[in-house]
Amino acid sequence: MHRPGTQGPGKVRFAEPTTSGCDADSLLLGSCSEQPADCGHAMMTMMRRSGRAHWMLALFCCLLLAFPSHGPRAVEAFVGGYGINYGRIANNIPSPDRVVKLLRASKIRNVKIYDADHSVLDAFRGSGLNLVIAIPNGLVKDFAANESRSIDWLNENVQPYLPQTRIVGITVGNEVLGGQDTSLAEPLVQAVKNVYNGLKRFHLENKIELFTPHSEAVFATSYPPSACVFKEDVMVYMKPLLDFFSQIGSPFYVNAYPFLAYISDPEHIDVNYALFKPNPGIVDPNTSLHYDNMFDAQIDAAYAALQAAGYNDMEVRVAETGWASSGDQSEAGASVENARTYNFNLRKRLFLRKGTPLKPKRPVKAYIFALFNENSKPGPGSERHYGLFNADGRIAYDVGYSGLLPSSAPSLKTIRAGGCWTVHYSAKVILSIFTLLALVT
């Protein structure tokens, strides 16, 4: 949404010793590749040999296997599937230090802002939160013309804050392509390249992700999802940008708003389809894939456009999505109940870490818009009512957060979104513990 003014597969055989699988020594060293339920023979051998101390180490190994590690890696730009946009076009929202308290209490780890404000960067020091900062549209031309400008900007807004402030991403512009200021389209890719060169100078190119979010305006059509392609006039500038992002491994970020699609045609779009509520859904006639919600359809439309352009392996992530809790009379569906339904169902969907019909093995990642209602934003009434929280830190409606202060917002009596993840991994740990207890009794 445009923001004016901002921008190992083998199993252990219990009947016979082998040279593969888990023996006692490999288990003790942490090199066993088997699942917890399959480690019993090796554990029994080890416990008989060494007694209680080895029993404790075996339990520790099982816990490690229940929560597997994938080895050392660069800073992860997006942990899990859920993040939030922290917009600040308001004169009454909490100070950045209180916002950090709110985010940590809410266990929201991924945060995106629309500038590089030093009060925010200072507040995020030592918080452990992942922060994406921004180079606004107004600086795109300057950064394209002068590589030294990007060096200066990184020196001022990134270098002094690392590593205490976990700056894990930088956006260059917001909704530039397909936007109102067409003069920014051509310099965008050079601005991105100059910022990347600056990151390389500071040896940060593998630690900070670089991207630019796009609106739905870059697509010529999005229905059915498989038919989506980029507009011809946009593709002139999109192709070199995608070529570069493909080289450096950056995802394609899109601002996906079922709310905006719904208010544009409420007579023909089922609001339940937009809100993740039960509905017949649609079937893409070209792929025979069934979609029961518009959010997934919008993401797969972006994947289809990328594939049509020749970028089959590029990941799609969502830079913004949300639903307004209030708006003008002409903005159908802008209500507290719809906003609560959309954001709760979206949160639940993201915490399940599942993919889309077209990309079922690639979990969706999305930044929710937005953290607060922003009272100073221009435009229609909905622009000032996307927040999960009110200006005083109270929840605007209940999607599972508590807020900085108690709230009278009605409770949403249903299972919290993170439940499935917790049950899944807790079950693995409990199974491991009970397996060990059964073996030693």
- Catalytic sites, residue numbers: 175, 320
Q: Which residues contact 349 (CB under 8 A, 6 or more apart)?
A: 276, 293, 295, 364
Structure tokens at 124: 């995020």
Other Cβ atoms within 10 Å of 181 Cβ, number: 13
CA distance 39 to 22: 7
CA distance 189 to 83: 26
- Residue 435, amino acid: T
Within its chain, how far is the Cα of 200 from the centroid?
25
Structure tokens at 159: 């270098």
CA distance 236 to 242: 11
| Conformation bin of residue 80: beta by default, left when phi > 0, alpha when psi is -120 to 50 | left
CA atoms within 13 A on the CB side of 332: 13
- The closest of 175, 176, 190 to 243, measured between CA atoms, is 190
- The closest of 199, 77, 178, 190 to 144, measured between CA atoms, is 190
Q: Which residues contact 1 (CB under 8 A, 6 or more apart)?
A: 175, 215, 255, 257, 260, 320, 369
Q: State the DSSP code for 395.
A: B
| Conformation bin of residue 119: beta by default, left when phi > 0, alpha when psi is -120 to 50 | alpha
- Residue 421, amino acid: W
CA distance 349 to 342: 10
CA distance 241 to 311: 12
Distances (CA, A) of 276 to 108, 128, 221, 313, 322: 22, 32, 22, 27, 13
Other Cβ atoms within 10 Å of 266 Cβ, number: 14
